[in-house]
Structure 1
């Protein structure tokens, strides 16, 4: 299943958690989903238009004084069914992570170990920044949404991010040890 089809379901899912406008969807993606699923702003509105055409969602324009009309979207029963069917279908393949450090590391025989060590150190700093972000998100979810049913699932996806970030940091340490022992 291609990424475009998954984007369709990401947007259907966003509608279930109260994101009813393209703007609110983008805000939720930037603050949450972007850590594991990237959707550009330019994908949102064409996908919403397509979902309306497929009768999976409806759109209603609301007027606001002094502002442009706002389009609010809502799932139809057909949309709910499509989302449920997609969620019940097992994943087809594991996603492939694009990782610039790994790409550079793959070709690192063309540079000094010192440069490679600097790359690994910089990578670890970026991982620490990500881990700090994840911990702040964890606190926000627990403090703001802790008693809501959705929160436990949001925390599960966040836990995946925390664990993979910690594992990547450990890997970077191990990579440096292996490079040092081969000198």
Structure 2
């Protein structure tokens, strides 16, 4: 099976929903929106944009039509890009392999210092609390600022998923900490 570059669909989706943008603008928008569940590196973004240009999925605007009045390379989705994006939305979802370093360390925890594992879990627990608060604030903003927007319901669906996953992971951290703290005390 041919490996699919899903990054191109994230880019096409941003160009479709927001209009023409520079690579920098795409990266900034992605960090603020899809970046919570789909990260893009700058090292991957520009080669993907060039490949998409070559395939005719996007086109480059003329310099005098530059985004934001600045002299930057700005891209817009083409009809071919729109068709590819819409076709991708209909394709079955193939899950990427799951990798979680903390789980790997815990799995081999018998060979680790218990305090190290406890500290790893506490760090993860704190990270989850911060992320939950952040996403709750984003959700509140979307519900108030974007109420009635055609895309708001879809954003809220992804925010709800993120919150549910983070809350489940936080609960798991708390249960795991109790177990390891008991173990380290010899109970």
Which of 81, 84, 96 is matched with 2:83 structurally?
81
How far apart, in 1, do the equivalents of 2:24 and 2:57 lie?
19
Residues 117 and 176, structure 1, Cα contact 8 Å, conserved in 2: yes
Instruction: Give 1:118-133 correspondences, 5 Å limit.
Output: 118-133=119-134
How far apart, in 1, do the equivalents of 2:124 and 2:60 lie?
44
Which one has a larger percent strand, Structure 1 or Structure 2?
1
Residues 124 and 169, structure 1, Cα contact 8 Å, conserved in 2: yes
Q: CA deviation at 1:68?
A: 6.0
Residues 61 and 69, structure 1, Cα contact 8 Å, conserved in 2: no
Distance 1:144 1:97, change over 3 A: farther
How far apart, in 1, do the equivalents of 2:62 and 2:31 lie?
24
Q: Does 1:27 align with 2:22?
A: no
Gaps in structure 2 of 5+ consecutive residues: none
TM-score, with structure 2 as normaliser:
0.85
Instruction: Give 1:167-178 correspondences, 5 Å limit.
Output: 167-178=168-179
Q: Deviations over 1:74-131 (max 9, x none)?
A: 2221111100100000112x23343232122122212333332222122111100111
Instruction: Give 1:11-90 correspondences, 5 Å limit.
Output: 11-18=11-18, 20-63=21-64, 69-90=71-92
Number of equivalences: 179
TM-score, with structure 1 as normaliser:
0.87
User: SS in structure 2 opposite 1:39?
Assistant: coil
User: SS in structure 1 opposite 2:151?
Assistant: helix
Gaps in structure 1 of 5+ consecutive residues: none
